[in-house]
A and B are shown apart, each in its own frame.
Chain A
Amino acid sequence: MVIKTLDIQTIRKDFPILQREVNGQPLVYLDNAATSQTPQQVIDVIVDYYQGYNANIHRGVHTLSQEATDAYEAARQKIQKHFNIAHSHEVIMTSGTTHGINLVATGFTSFLKKGDQIIVSAMEHHSNIVPWQMLCERTGAILKVVPMNLDGELVIEEYHKLLSDKTKLVFCNHVSNALGTINPIEEIIEAAHKVGAAVLIDGAQAAAHIKADLQALDVDFYTVSAHKMCGPTGVGMLYGKEEWLKKLPPYQGGGEMIAEVTFEKTTYADLPHKFEAGTPNICGGIAFGAALDYMNSIGFDAIAQYEDELLQYATEQLLAIDGLKIYGTPAHKTSVISFNIEGAHPYDIGTIVDKLGIAVRTGHHCAQPIMDFYKIPGTVRASFSFYNTREEVDKLVEGVKRARNMLL
Chain B
Amino acid sequence: MTIKEIQEEIVEEFSMFDDWMQRYEYMIELGKSLPLIEEQYKTDDNLIKGCQSKVWVHAELDGDKLVFTADSDAIITKGIIAILIRAFSDQKPQDIIDADVEFIDEIGLKEHLSPTRANGLVSMIKQLKLYAVAYQTQLK
Contact = CB atoms under 8 A, between A and B. Distances in A.
A354 B114 contact: yes
Interface string B55-84: 000000000000000000111110000000
B24 to A, nearest CB: 6
A347 B24 contact: no
Interface of A: 23, 344-345, 347-348, 350-352, 354-355, 363, 377, 406-407
Given A345-B53, A377-B54, A351 B73 contact: no
A377 B113 CA distance: 19
Contacts of A345: 53, 73-77
Contacts of B73: 345, 377
B11 to A, nearest CB: 21
A16 B129 CA distance: 45
A347 B117 contact: yes
A54 to B, nearest CB: 32
A351 B24 CA distance: 9
A352 B24 contact: yes
B74 A355 contact: no
Interface of B is mostly: helix
Contacts of B53: 345, 347, 377
The main secondary structure of chain A at its interface with chain B is helix
A354 B115 CA distance: 13
Contacts of A354: 114
A407 B21 CA distance: 12
B28 interface: yes
Contacts of B17: none
Contacts of B2: none
Interface string B97-140: 00000000000000001100100000000000000000000000
Interface residues of B, number: 16
A347 B77 contact: yes
A355 B19 CA distance: 10
B38 interface: no
Contacts of A347: 52-53, 74, 76-77, 117
A348 B76 contact: yes
Contacts of B114: 350-351, 354
A354 B54 CA distance: 21
Nearest to A346: B74
B96 to A, nearest CB: 27
A10 B52 CA distance: 39
